[in-house]
Amino acid sequence: MKKGVILAGGKGTRLLPLTGVTNKHLLPVGKEPMIWHSIRQLVISGITDILIVTSCEHMGDIVNSLGSGQQFGCQLTYRVQDEAKGIAHALLLAKNFVGKEKIIVLLADNIFEYSISEHVDRFTNQEEGGYVLVKEVNEPSRYGIAALDEKQIILIEEKPNFPKSNYAIVGCYMYDTQVFNIIKSIKPSTRGEFEITDVNNVYARNGQLKYGFVRGKWTDAGTFHSLLEANSLLLSVDNKIVS
């Protein structure tokens, strides 16, 4: 049994003035609101019990868009992140929802051409630890970059000046229940946020962070340029997810 968590918080300041009137994850991508893509990805992967985490000011609009989840064939639960203290902080809000199940976490601004179901299946068969998706990028100094061997992640460096590879960690993370104790053990960064890279590096140091390569195109729709890319990608496939 697995559960899904979609993180749709943050202020989206790089997309102002658009995000001055709505949550970034409700902006149109192709023919639908951005967050619909993440829900479809999870449902296609057999995950129908899903938690949405967003800010208090946008919760009403998110609920109005998604409802109970019936239209997607899933059941949705909602939690408010009162303060923007980072991805790991938002994920900690899912502890009671997850219970003793494995979790698949998606950042709601990440858009994938292909289904993530093959990775979910691999993770399901993994005895313990975490699993992340990586994608080769042209400008590795803009991303969290993985040093990896044939089977697992060795280290992740955030926006390195001298990257050890061209493989970026994208916004899809899969964890066992260790993740919540790991989040509680890390300290906030200089930005005052609890960073998901620190969580992933704990798994990596323990030799428990496996990975898979993203097939096809991927983008995170966090800037005007990447939002345009995301629109172009999903319009080209009529907002369908390639299996």
Give yes or no for residue 10 having a pLDDT over 90: no
pLDDT band at 177 (very low <50, low <70, confident <90, very high): very high
Give yes or no for residue 188 having a pLDDT over 90: no
Q: Which is more confidently placed, 124 or 85?
A: 124
CA distance 47 to 63: 19
The average pLDDT across 150-166 equals 90
pLDDT band at 209 (very low <50, low <70, confident <90, very high): very high
- Residue 22 is predicted with a pLDDT of 83
Report yes or no: 211 and 119 within 8 Å, Cβ to Cβ: no
Q: pTM (2 decimals)?
A: 0.94
The average pLDDT across 130-157 equals 92
The token pair at 193 is 């946020």
Maximum alpha-carbon separation in the chain: 47
For the stretch 64-123, pLDDT in tens is 999 999 999 999 999 999 888 889 999 999 999 999 999 999 999 999 999 999 999 999
Q: Which is more confidently placed, 19 or 209?
A: 209
Burial of 32 (0-12, 13-18, 19+ CB in 10 A): middle
For the stretch 43-66, pLDDT in tens is 999 999 999 999 988 899 999 999
Report yes or no: 203 and 182 within 8 Å, Cβ to Cβ: yes
Mean pLDDT, all residues of the chain:
93
- Residue 183 is predicted with a pLDDT of 96
- Residue 36 is predicted with a pLDDT of 97
Percent of the chain topping pLDDT 70:
100
- Residue 109 is predicted with a pLDDT of 94
Report yes or no: 70 and 48 within 8 Å, Cβ to Cβ: no
